[in-house]
Every structure is written in structure tokens, then in C-alpha cells.
Structure 1
Amino acid sequence: MIGLVIVSHSKMLAEGVKELAMQMGQNKVRIEVAGGLDDENNPIGTDPMKIEEAIRAAYSEDGVLVLMDIGSAIMSAEIALEFLEDDIRNKVVLCEAPLVEGTIAAAAQAMSGSDMKDVIAEARNSLHAKNVLLQPEKEIDETVSDEQNELPVDGINLQIIVPNKQGLHARPAAKLIEIVNRFNARALVSAKGKKPVSASSISQVGTLGAKNGEVLDFVIFGKDADELEKALIYFRDANFGDDDKEIIETTTKKIVKSEALDGAIHGIAASEGIAVGKSLWFKKELPTINKENVEDTNHEIFLLHQSIDRVIQELGVIQKKITRELTKEKAEIFDYHKLLLQDQDLLKEVEDTIRNEKINAAYVWSSQIKKLETEYLAMDSAYLQERAADVVEVGNKVLVELLGVPKKKIVLTHACIIVTDELGPAETMELDLNLVQGIITRTGGETSHSAILSRSLGIPAIVGVGEQIDKIMDGEEIAIDGSTGDIWTANHPDVIADLRKAKEVEQVKRQESLAKAKAPAVTRDGKTFQIVANVSGPKEAKISFENGAEGVGLYRTEFLFMNREDAPSEEEQYQAYKTVCENMKGYPVTIRTLDVGGDKPIPYLDIPAENNPFLGLRGIRYCLQDTKLFKTQLRAICRVSAEYDVRVMYPMVGVIEEVLSANELLRKVQTDLNKEGIAFSKKMKVGVMIEVPSTIFFIPQLAKELDFLSIGTNDLTQYLLALDRDNNSVAKYHSPFHPVVLEAIREIISRSKKAGIEVSMCGELAGNAKATNLLIGLGLEKFSMNSPAIPKVKEMIRAMNTSDNQTDFQIDSSIRTLEGLKKSLGE
């Protein structure tokens, strides 16, 4: 890695620049300083000997870049070079870049392992962004940017035939961008004879419209071109990350009007089910955006970026909610939205227009979104046409922030069927599932993202109704059949009555299903297994109880801390925890203490940036550092324990000392509560998450300090295999079914039983019905899972005879690999 030397007349200035640069280089870059003179009376100056010493300290085989401030600093640096041996001197470069900006830019570039040429280029170009912001009317030196935008003279040519059924739609397009941006290389891509576009721009890649079987032509160039080529080939072999079994084939539906419809309004059947109720028209029109001349274009650009940042943060919260309540694949819908907002090509075009034409940001952004929407609607693929709705939704979110208008959300006060022009995926996820009976939209298709989410949430939906939707009056009683696409207004009372009866039959069947779900999970030979839920708040707890949960095995409290300006108070936490317990009707509730850090950042906690946040300050480690916050949470939990069967669980435990420290704090909190006369349960059970592999080896010690253990297979898999679960490049091997992970699970269960401590599982594997038989064979007796999985897992257990289940998993020669294991399980 390139080393850096800072030469300044002032020692304090040199140290300050180093501090900034170390932050940008994430403390990975070796940076040395040679500042001032060792003379108390005359401290300002430069010393060649100090510079020589700093160069030697920063030296590496990749070279040393020296940045200087003014005057004699340059002469002193040149003299210092003469003191060096030839082999060292030849790898030292004196750079004329500005000291502060140049050093910061050089450190950021050097951190990635770039060569000297790239580091120097970044240092020299460090004033470019400042010039753009402060001197828009002047001619700006675009040398470096122009070089970057030139077509390559040569490069690696790669042709990829689009393998997945739905083609290069939003999700694979987002993954493609993520792959390209991971390497120190660039790529241009074209399809169907279209002009090549940047493969790192979602707004450009998304409009290629490449279908299944069509050819994508890539030209790859840059330092990591070979590695990027391999990654793109792997991406192709992985079917662009799509599971075609889960993707609905796009079909062109004809709206047929016949006497059989007998006056029904007809649309596209998007999510099956019958709904009968009052209609609620939802209009979400933005105010008229006029074209206005502005003088302070920099302020307009600042406001635009501020608005975009807020929307990205909001989308991140929604994405986590979908991952939690549905699946990670459904959450990936929003990768496209976020990448669109981070698309440098799109943003540059908007910024240039604002700056050059001196027009307000709202008008320029709105025009750009309309242009992009038009491009999608003009495509010959119905699936890609439906992505226009995503563009409009995310674009409008930015406009709402930019214009400062109130965010218009669908707030339901009574059960109803929502009628609207269009509904985005984010809006769909914000609906109150207790009150929304159905959805009708003017636009959209069966593969629109809101339709996909409606199916996952079990909301009957009809989309693409067109102008016929205007026949539906606000507040009138209507009925819809999501299986046929038929909508019946109040003019057809007989049909509505028939559908209401059909709905009642549906509800009876559902109640029977729920009643069955609430029955215990008992095998045919009489063995009972405990099935509990993973929840993130009171609402999920209520749904989980209805789905048959016999308690909460994991209450993720971090969601109470997210998407706000400061931490929740003790009283607020107490009320939230109490409501979850109330909704579980007396069943035990395990509350996990704050699990923050890694992939769950909380801005107001000011957790410092880390080189590897997944191995850094997260989970119990953070709580033991921020003891004030931790004690507040423990107090709230203890107070609830006086009234309900509550357990407390520490996350991310890696060493026994963390458990001892956490328990000591818990005892202090209980002592304080006792002195204050506040009730709590002295028998409250305490446990930890088993997700760090090291914990497997001191389970006997844990058993002496704790009451229970819970296996978190998500992180356990990640840490055991050293595979980032969110990295597509290594996703092939990331599986809780990997023999190594299963061997670890068996060892945890075995050691826990020997130590006499209760053990359960709360990771995603627990809710996978395909794994139920296997986990029971490994000795697991308590499962904690997301609510929708509970009925199916219970059904699997009831059909089982444990005397027939002699699963004795061993890593023998036949199942050393993941594929071998799948074959042995008959998958």
C-alpha cells in the first residue's frame, strides 16, 4: 500500500492534516509527518532530516507520496531525497497537490490498494469538487473527469446471454451495479444495438430492457478488469441472482368485456382473495412544480442531496422491515430505489442542469424523473414497463422532501378497500394490515413490486383497472375478487351479498386454520415441541399469537431505537415491552438487549466508523461501553418482569467476560430498583445468543452464569464460514445447511444438554420447514421463528414420528459438501 508523508512549516498543521487523512484512510494507510522545527523560539519551518526520517518510516514497496505546503517545504523535500538510497528514492514522488485536500484524497484512494498513478491523480484532482461548488460560472478543469469518460482504446470484450426469465429487471440490475462498483475497473454495456452505457449507473442500465436470451455486450477496462470479468461470469452462472421458481411469468392479459361480467369493472388479478367493504379513495397529488430561476445554485444542489439522503435512510428502514417480516429477496426490491438515488450519472445530469440553466432543483429533478419514466413505459417488456412506477415513487419521495410538503401517508381509521391511481412498494409496506381489506389501482401489472408485496402480505389486490376505476365512488360499499380481477360497485347488491358469503366461508376456514395453528406441536408419538416467535414490536407479537406462537423467543428491541433523533426513554421502552407481553397473553417473552452496529447503524449513538463493523463494536460490546443506555434498557425490562414472564438475552457474546460484565450491570440495576421500591422479578431468566463460534467452546462456563442459550443461525453461519451473507460473490456457499454449520449446531445442542442448560434456535433456519425434521434429529426441542412460518412448522411436527427420526448427522465422505448434504436429505 502507498505510504504518505505530510510536510508543513507548522507541526500542528501537519498533525491536523494527518488526523483527517487517517479517518479517510480508515487507519489503513501509513501516514508520517515532518512539520516545523525543533526550535522553541522559531518553530515554523521545514527540516530535510525530519522529512528523510518520515519517508523512511512511511516507506513500502508500493512507494511513498510526499505532499508539501509552501515555499521552502519543496526545497527541503528535494534535499531529503538526496539522503536516500537509489532504490528508495526511485519510489518516492513529490506531489504538487494542495496539502489538505490532496492528502485526504490520496489517503482515501491509497486505502483501496491503488497504485501510485491513481493515488497521484486523486490528489491532483482533489480541488475539483470544490471548484464545481464555488466557481460554477468559470471554466473548470475537467481533465481527470474527461479521461474517465473517454471510451477505452482497448479492453476485455465479454458477451453475456441474459439467463433469467424476467431479464435485466430492477433486482439484477441493482446487483450488477453493486458488482461493478466493487472493483477498480470500469465497464460499458450495451444491448440490442443500443449505445453503450456505464455499467455502474442504475438509471442507464435499468433502461437497457434486456430480456431473457438477449445478449449484453460488455467492454471492461481498468486495473481489476480480469477480476470484474470473472465476477460478471459468476453473476451470469448464478442466473443473475434470480430464483425463477419464485418469479411469476409476465403474461399479456386482455380485458374481456362480456355478458358474464354483468357490469363488473375488470382489472388484472394481482393477489387472490375476496374483500367486501367501504372504498377509500387515496389521492397523492404533488403540488404544481413551477420552473423558477435561482441565483444560489449551490444551495439548490445542497437541498437536493439532503432530500435524497433522507429518502435513502427511510428506504433502509423499510427494507429492514421487509427482511424481518417477509424475506430478504422481497427486500431487495428497494436496492433499485437506493441505487437510483445514488446514481452518479443521473445526479450529474441534474446538477449540471441546475448549475448551467440556474433552475430550481425541484423542477429539474421532476423533469428528469418524468424522462426516465417515459423511457421505461416505452419498452416492449410489460415487466420493465412496470418499473416506471418504482421510478415515480422514489422520485416523488425526493420531491416531497425537497418541497417541504407534508408526507401524505395512507392513514386508515376503519376497515376499507383502498382505491388509488398507483401504489408503490414502500406505501404497500406501510399499510395497517388490521384495516386494509383490499387494494385497487388504476395502473400496474401482476409483476409490479406492490403487487408482489400484496401477495406476500395476503392482501387481495386488483391492478391496471384503467379509466374504469373512476366509476368507484369514495365511501361506497364494493366487493373485489382478487382471483378473477372483478370489482363490483354498490349498483350490484346481489353480487356483493354472494361475495360476502364467500368471504365468510373464507374466514371460517381461516379461523379453523388458526385454531389448528394454536394447538400444541405434538408428534404422532406424543412428543411436544415448543414453537415461539421472532418479533420486532407489539403488532408483530399480536399477529404471532394469532398464528400459534407460544411465546416470543426473540424480541428485537433495536427497531424501537431506529428512525428517530434520540434513544427511547425508560418509560417508552417499558410501555413497548409491556404491550408485547400483553399481546402474547401471558406466554413468556424473551427480550434481546440492543443489538446495534454492523448492518444496524443508529446515527445518534455516534458509533465510530470501523474497518470491519461486523467484527467491531456491536451487540453487547456496545452496550457494555454505553452503560447509561444499557442500564436504562435493563431497568425497563426488569420493571416489566414484575408483571409478566420476561427473559433477557444478550446478543453478540464472544467471550465469558462479556457475560460477567453484563450480569454485574444487571445486578446493579436490580439493586437500584430495590432501593427505589420499584418491583421486579428476582427469578427473571438470563441468556445469550450463540452466534459467535467461540461461544461453542465455553458452554459449560456459560451454563454456570445463565439460564438459557439461543442459536442465531444467521450470524453463526456468517462467522463460521467467514462469508458475508450480503455479498453476492460468496453467496453460493453461504447456507445454514452447510455441513460445517450443522455440525456446529449439533455440538451446541449436545454440549448444552450435558451442561444442563436450555437451548433453542431463533435464526432463520428454525422457520424453514424443510429443516424441521433435521433439527429435531439433531436434538432441538424449541424453535423461534417469524410469524408466517409457525403454522407450517407445527404441521410438519404433527405429521412426524420421532421414533422414525433417527437423523444422526455426521460429516462423512458422502456429505462433505453442501451439495452432498442436499442429496443425502433427498432435496
Structure 2
Amino acid sequence: MLTLRQDDILLDRRADDWRMALDQATEALHEAGLVERDYRDGLFDREAQSSTFLGNAIAIPHGTPESRQHVRRTGVRVLQFPAGVEWHDGNRVHVLVTIAAQSDEHLDILRQLTHVLDREGVAERLAGADSRGEVAGLLSRAVVEARLDADTLCLGFPARDRQELALAGAARLRQAGCVGSEFVASVAEQAPLGLGQGLWLVSSERGVEVPALSLATADARLEEAGERVTGVFCLAAQGDAHRGLMERILALLDAGAARELHGLDAETLLARLAGESAAARTRQARVLNAHGLHARPAKQLVQVARAQGLAIRVRLADGGFDAVSASSLTKVINLGARRGQQLVFSAEGEGAEAALETVCQALAEGLGEQVLPFDESREQTAAVVDEPAPEPLPADRPHPAVAASPGLAIAPVFVLRTPHFDYPRLAEDPAVEARRLEQAIREGSEQLEALVGEARGGEVAQILSMHEEMLGDPELLEAAREQLQEGSSAEAAWWDAIETAARAQEMLADRLLAERAADLRDVGRRVLGILCRVELPEPPAHPYILVTDDVGPSDVARLDTSRVRGLLTARGGATSHSAILARALGIPAVVGAGRRVLALEDGSELILDGERGRVIPAPSAERREAAEQRLADHRRREAEAWEARFQQARTRDGHRVEVAANLGNTAHAADAVERGAEGVGLLRTEFLFMAHAQEPDLDTQIAEYREALEALDGRPLVARTLDVGGDKPLPYWPVPKEDNPFLGLRGIRLALTKPKVLETQFRAMLMAAAGDPAAGAPAAGATGRDRPLRIMLPMVKDISEFRAAKQILDRLLEEIPEAERTTDVQLGVMIEVPSCALLAPTLAAEVDFFSVGTNDLTQYTLAIDRGHPELSAQADGLHPAVLKLIEMTVDAAHAHGKWVGVCGELASDAVAVPVLVGLGVDELSVSARQVPLVKARLAEVDLDEARRQAGLALAQATSEAVRDALEVR
């Protein structure tokens, strides 16, 4: 496992920009004998794909899979930049954790660093650290918060003095598994310390397993030596984990509210300690989302809370002692609320009841996701209800789903099915049950030991070793034995012990410990399977395609990439975290394929196409041979395309079609040129606005756009104006709550509500394209006057929105002297809304160009959310209705001498490229990595053949028929 050591840390580095910082990082890896100097290209390629900025002033540069050939041995170098480095995504970086990994070991470092991201002040402390030990400590020390929940409270205890209350609190912490006998003995030796207002405190660090706080109160009002005894806090201290709890207690004392604690029930007392006053209104609501409050539903919850017009706080009902603002996205996500957990919302003042009702109702409705009612008895792991087996997929026939990670895989399948456990809750003889449990634990440990040996090191072996260690935890066995003495069966006692331990870990609100909770349950299921004589499925030793219901990010990260050729899930969408991580690991993935894929037989052969988003079970020999040929051809074509990447893009018979790059960051323009891009066909300028806490000013925008224009060296730049709203909110530009934000204020509609923002963006683009007079003579082929600037407006529905924006641009062209702005400028629109395509003839008379955004055009034409887990497979841009709209757009544009580009995902679809050319499209804009392949694809077809393919596609009735017809050719 890749780990951080003090010897890996280099202090006090300086760099003028992120590129220089990466150069230094490469040199540090090279000097340590970890990489060849060519590994530098891999670091830069990775940044071109996506920023490696992690958060809290930390970036984790690492190479691409292709660059692993330059890694001599696995290692890491940490570079500290006290003055900071401006990263290409606008963030400030003080520490580079630069990784040379021969496999996917950078994920180890990522897991180790996740706990640092939400810790306040870490960025400043990393910048100011003056020793390697201090930097290592900041990067490796996890933040643990002390536990406080209903199980650590001891209320209404029949005590005669505060010493008895202290001991009662210590005993409760021992019962909760937080401390041992040594802690209780330490408390017995102390006299409680007075805090005031009848509250007292005892604390110890001896015998502490999990930091925690108990509060013991008496069953009747108690006085001792003339002093009131409202309650005694018993603190199991460990480091500074208790700091947050003590701050809450001090706040309670400052407010003079401690006297009110006597006689309160557990729920109300926890509310007071969480900062909720007696005047606060509270409501509870259960999380129903299948994957809990992850980013998308959390964002919806925050928007609902903000719209209420008063402060709303939220905490976990089970173990969440600290209430956080429901208007803070990071705070809400960090609650880590899972499906089935209760949230407690609180608010004060006029309208509090109505506001809480609105928030709880939104939670009950799923926050934009489809949810099912929660039935605790049916959702326990040990009580899985049998469902009818799904109908198997037909052999040798393509089954459509969602393309999640590109690539082609041909391998036997391994179906990971959730095991069913059936056992009695009670048993008659505790001794017999104890022997059964101990034997099952021994057998489970032997299984894990054997698997560790088979794994031959690496991450899988590390995880299995950790599981083996967990099985030897005496606390787990002791907790199960207590349940056995109360009459539970071995199965029930074991699973209750596992669940209690897992939930205790999750309450600590640390991401690494949350992963340990998942591991605990994995270990628990292994022993439960032995007790129930249910064998847990083990993956085969040979290469395979993993088929499962759904998979989380941690599951994907644990995949043995040397064996897993592909990933197929019944549920999930292309934007899920697991799909994103699969792409990062280079594993072809198809998701959202439906329950029928779970009926595939283990060992049966499958073709998985992560580019087309389909699978073919039990393929015929002919189809398999064709797929193998595709794999070989793809590798050959990639190599040939790279060699020819700087050639002008043309069809086989010489027809010119420009191939440009889609960018989300101006810093990546130089990389796009290096990959053969003939311009930038889509610059998503919203990245600039999202990278700043406030709206970027004119100078900031000029500098950003100029960076791209200079890198393009006279090649055209097509910049899309600010496209936010819908699923891309800006924190400093709040949008009122909308029932359907994708049909609401977004794109040009939103921009026109603040014309000054649009005006500043226009002005910055015009001035940036004029060049920098202070920089001296411009590069060859790129004078200050002829840097081609193409501005396009997103989400235009008709001519009125275009005219409103053009009026602003025309005024600026009059106001800004020609010497200070470009004269080579065009204003066009994106064809994303069907009405815009249908009205293309009226628009073409006034616009300078069209650029078809096939992603949104498909979504709106077919009324399918392209991120929908069940329907997104049907959102295919090759649908004849979408193609017809593109044809209408091209015909209208060419009738007025205007050009048309396509900048959606369809432009890089190998099947679609000839169709788009045949429809008359003049430009294809794709991801920078796809530029060489798209150029190569163009060179394989001639214009007449492309026109025939376009006509064939338009004659079909469905997207499936289009693809079938084109593949036959």
C-alpha cells in the first residue's frame, strides 16, 4: 500500500505557476529513482483531463495509465509551497502530493487524505509548517469527534451524590463499548469539578477505546454541601476529539440554560446540547434516498432550506450532537446521512413551523429522486425478501443501457448477487450458540488468511488482512456474547454486534472510519454466511466482467483491475460516482441495464461496449470475432491517429470538416493544440465563475480568455457565455426554487436577468482577443486584430433572446476603441432547444453561426433526463428526430452562408461522425483526447458515402434502428 513518510517530504519550494510546480514534482520523483523524466507528460496529461486539486490547498498530481511505463517503482513525493501556487482551475495550492504508481495505488493516498479536506485552518498550517514531521502529521492525522448520543446518556439515575452520578456515567460509557474498566477506576478516584449552574465534570484518558461523553442526571433534585447537582458530565478524552462537545457545554453555560437540563428526556437534552434553544421548533424526517444524502439530493435540500427565509439547522437524530446549517451544502453532505436515518430540523421565529414542514415534505418526496417508503423490518441485511427471478437476456442480441466508461471488454461474467440469510432470532442454549459462533469466526479467519495468500500483495490483500484483523477484535466477540446470554441465536447476536460497532464508527463522522464501518459489515456477512451455511460469492481467478445490482465508489476502488475487464450494473447512471471512478480507473463500464442482467449465468461470455452503452450476452462466434477485431483495430487506429494528428481534417475525398476541442478550462488550450485541435469549438466559461467565491472581475476574465487565445496561436476560439442554473448553481448568484430547474432560469435566460454580468463577459472576450499590448509583438499568424473570436449563447429558444444579447455586444463594439478589441468576432447560438432548431430559418438570417449541443438537444427533444438511471440509455443523439432537427439547422444556415458546428458527445461517436458530415455539418468539437481519432474517422469516409449514411439514418424510426442500419453497412 502506498503511504506517506517524512523522508518523502520536500519543504520550502517556490514556483511561478502550476506548470513550474509540476516540473519540480517530476524532477523530485526522478531524483528519487521513482520515474523517468518522460513521466512529466503523464502528469500534464492528467491535468488536461481534470484537475487533481483535492481541497484545502492540496493537489495530488499523478500520471495517466499510459504513463505508467515510465514508472520505475511506486513512490510519492510531497512538495510544500509556502507562498502558494495558483492552480489551473483557480484554486490555491500549498502542497503537492505527487504520486508515481504502477497500478491504481494513488487511491490509497486519496483515501488517506480525505479526512483533511473538511478540517478548518489546514491550508494555512500546511503553508506555515517548518518541519517535515509537521507536514506529515497534518496530512495523516484523522479528525475524530467524541461520541454523544442517547446510548451514552444516563438520565434519572437514583444517586445520592455527584460521585455516584460520575460512576453511573462511566458505567454507561463502558456499556456502550467506549471505555474499559481502567477508565471506570480512574473516575472513581476523582472528585467532580464544578462547571457552574449545577453541572459537574469528570474526565480521564485511561482505558478509552472511543472518545465519548456521558451525562448522568439524578432521579430527583439533588444538592450536596449546599450546591446544586443538576448533572455530571463524564468525559472519555482522547486527543482533542472532545473539543466540539466542550464548546457546546460552554455555550450552554454562557446562555444560562444549564439549569433547565434536569428532568429532560434524552431527545430534548440532546437538542439543548446541539444548540437548540427551548424556543426552537423542531421536526424529524427520515432520509428515504437509496444512497442517502449524497451530493444531488443534498443540494436540493439546501436550496429548499435557503428559500424559507430563516435560519434552519439540522442534525442526525442518532448520534448527531452538533446541529449544522441546512443552508450549507458541505455541512449537509458531511452529516453522512444514510437511508433510513432520522434528521432533526430546528428553526426559531415567525414562520418556523411552516418552514420546517416545507423542508420535511421535500425530504419525504425524495429531493428530486424517486424514493420508496422505509420499512425497517424489511431493510435489515439479515431479512432479505425473495423477489421473482428476472427473465434472462436473450443470447447474441444487443441489450442497450447507459455508457458509463468507454472501452470494449470480452470476458466471462461473474454475477455478484446479494446473499440471503434466514435464521431464528432466539435460541435455547447460550453455550451451544457461543461454540457455534466461535467456530464460525475461526472458519472465517481461515478463509481470509487463504485469500490473503492468493491475492499476492497489493490493495486487495491489504483489505483482506484488515478484515482478518477485525475478526480477532475481542470487543466484537464480547458484545455478541452479551446478546447470547439474553437468549439470542448466534446469528442474531453476531449481526447485532456488527451493526452496533459499525454504527459507532459511522457516528465519528470521519470518512476513513466510515469505510471501516462498511468493512465491518463485510466481515459480518462472511461469518453470518458460515453460520447460515450460505456461501459468500468469491470472484474467479481468471479475467471477468463483474455484474452486480449497483456498486459504490469504495467498491469500485477495490476492484482488482488486473482481472476485472468490465463492470455491468443493474442500477446507476452515467453521472454516478461509481461511473466516474470507473472511468478514472480505465475500466469499461455499462450501468443502468436493469435487473435482467442479474440473471446472467456465471462464466457465460459477454461483450461489454462502454462506448455504445450496450452488452451482448452469449455472443455468436462471428460476433465475438468481430468484437476482437474491433479491439485490435482500435489499438492500431489510436497509434496511427496520433501520428497524423496535425494533418488538416478532411474526408477521404478532400471535403474539409474542422475538428476542434471542447474545453472546460483555458489552461488546457495548449494541450488541445498539441493533440491536433484546429481550434476550440466550445469553451465552457462557467468554470471560471465556479472557481471564484465572487463574480470574477473584468481583469480576471481577460487574463483567463487571453491564455486560451494565445495558446491557440491564431486558431479560432468559440466561447460559450455563462451557462449556469439548472444543475450548475453559483453560490453568489442564488436562483429561486424551481419545480423543474432544467426548464427554468438557466443559460441565456438567466444571464439576461443580470445584463451587467453578460456585458462584462462580452467586454473581457473582446479585449482578450485583441492581444496584450504589453507583451510585445504577437506570435506569427496571430496579430492583435485577427485572433478569431466566436461567441455563442446557450439555451436560446428564439430570435428575441439573441437580439437582446446582440444589442449589448453591438453597443460594446461601438464603445471600445478598435485598437483595444478584436475586429474578428462572430456571435452565434447553441441549438439545444427544439424550438431553436425549428426556427432556424429566422435565426440564420441574423446569427453568424450555429453550434449544436446534442446532449441537451437530445434531452429536450426526447423528454428524457440524460442522467436518469432508468431512461438515460434511450437518450441517444442518433435518434432520427434529433437528426432531423440537425438537418433543418444545417439547411437553414447554409441557405444564408453561415456555418454549423456540433459540440455535443455525438460529435465523437464513431458511428455518428459520417452521418453528421453527410448532414452538412462544418465543424466537430470533441474532447481534446478524441481529436486524433475523430480526424482519423473523417479520413475513412468520403462525402457521397456520408450523405448516403445520413439519408439512411433519417429514414429510420428509432435510434436503435439507426445504429443497426449503420452497423450493417
Q: TM-score range by the shorter chain?
A: 0.3 to 0.5
Normalising by structure 2, we get a TM-score of 0.40
